[in-house]
């Protein structure tokens, strides 16, 4: 898990780097070609098989039972979005005029909608966030630093959350007698990974990326502009970690709280489906699903993969698999609602922008 988090973070840094002029570079766009469509077709087929196996009539009955309570599906993620937006505010330059909390929430939703809807390993939306921050008055360097720091803090919070979920899983099945010792060891390993990530960012990372781009033959005005601003990004990024360790800790803690609120969503959805589960199982389900989400990052919309993972986790815990599939399909509905809000804001914020 540590390795996956490190790779995801390093890729995020590279994806953000191409946004030096406030717009995603072609190299960071979604992969094209037959492979993407094949993955999409396989995902749709997988989803169809799952619906057939768990009984479509049972699924329909669960959804119809929601009735007037259906809008309650949205309130847990409203909390997540607010907390994550609040966390984002601690990554912004202190001297800059900070956008209001609601604007930060909408910027994050816009970026996350791109991450969700495009097969870019949850990285394509990071340059979008940087671009929107630039449009709100931040410098290219300041917005890039904010995105990189936020991604780092989000990854750290996710690692701790997943480790807790693994330990709860071991405890639930009585697989370990000294799980606390293992958890401490894993946390120490995670802390070492975080230290390496921060150290990497403090050693002229963006200048090195600019030089690497030149060596591999990347040209064009966008790359040139990035090469010019790279030293400023490195300077501000290093300064953030040297002088604002407290803000980084707060950002990380708030993102961890956001992951915890994902547990609330699982519990609320299960209750609305009239299949109540324990808080421990809700925590395990949400935590163990995170590596599955990372593994499905290149599948468009992760269609079929997330649902299959949710069914597998429910089966592992001895829970009703049809309830698991229903829960993940409801998450699709919630995801579509908030992605729609994010895309609408992206269209609003970029209106009149020349392409």
DSSP string over 8-58: HHHHHHHHHHTTTTSS--GGGSPP-SHHHHHHHHHHHHHHHHHHHHH-HHH
User: Rounded to whole angstroms, how far apart are CA atoms 338 and 80?
Assistant: 11
pTM of model > 0.85: no
DSSP reduced 3-state for 123: coil
Domain parsing of the chain, residue ranges: 2-16+43-349
User: Rounded to whole angstroms, how far apart are CA atoms 274 and 330?
Assistant: 13
Say if residues 115 and 125 touch (Cβ distance below 8 Å): yes
Q: What is the mean pLDDT of the chain?
A: 81
Residue whose structure tokens are 């005005």 = 221
Model confidence band, residue 27 (pLDDT cutoffs 50, 70, 90): very low
Is the pLDDT at 22 greater than 90, yes or no? Answer: no
Question: Which of 169-178, 305-314, 346-355 is predicted most confidently?
Answer: 305-314
Q: Tokens at residue 293, please? A: 């989400």
Burial (0-12, 13-18, 19+ Cβ within 10 Å), 312:
middle
């Amino acid at each position: 898990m540590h390795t996956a988090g490190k790779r995801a973070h390093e890729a995020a840094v590279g994806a953000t780097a191409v946004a030096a002029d406030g717009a995603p570079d072609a190299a960071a766009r979604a992969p094209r070609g037959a492979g993407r469509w094949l993955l999409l077709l396989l995902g749709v087929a997988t989803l169809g098989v799952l619906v057939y196996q768990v009984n479509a009539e049972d699924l329909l009955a669960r959804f119809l039972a929601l009735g007037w309570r259906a809008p309650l599906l949205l309130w847990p993620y409203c909390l997540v979005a607010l907390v994550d937006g609040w966390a984002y505010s601690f990554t912004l330059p202190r001297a800059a005029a900070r956008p209001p909390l609601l604007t930060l929430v909408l910027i994050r939703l816009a970026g996350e909608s791109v991450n969700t809807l495009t097969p870019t390993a949850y990285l394509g939306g990071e340059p979008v966030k940087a671009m929107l921050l630039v449009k709100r008055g931040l410098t290219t360097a300041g917005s890039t630093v904010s995105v990189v720091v936020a991604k780092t803090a989000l990854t750290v919070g996710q690692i701790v959350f997943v480790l807790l979920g693994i330990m709860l899983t071991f405890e639930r099945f009585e697989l370990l007698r000294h799980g606390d010792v293992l958890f401490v060891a894993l946390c120490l390993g995670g802390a070492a990974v975080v230290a390496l990530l921060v150290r990497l960012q403090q050693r002229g990372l963006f200048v090195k990326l600019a030089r690497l781009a030149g060596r591999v033959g990347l040209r064009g005005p966008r790359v040139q502009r990035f090469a010019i601003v790279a030293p400023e990004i490195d300077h501000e990024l290093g300064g953030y970690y040297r002088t604002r360790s407290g803000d980084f800790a707060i950002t990380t803690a708030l993102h961890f709280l956001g992951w915890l609120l994902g547990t609330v969503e699982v519990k609320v959805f299960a209750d609305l489906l009239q299949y109540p589960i324990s808080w421990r199982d809700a925590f395990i389900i949400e935590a163990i699903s995170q590596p599955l989400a990372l593994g499905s990052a290149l599948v468009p919309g992760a269609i079929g993969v997330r649902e299959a993972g949710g069914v597998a986790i429910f089966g592992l815990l001895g829970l009703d698999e049809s309830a698991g599939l229903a829960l993940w399909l409801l998450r699709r509905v919630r995801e579509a609602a908030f992605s729609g809000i994010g895309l609408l804001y992206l269209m609003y914020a970029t209106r009149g922008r020349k392409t």
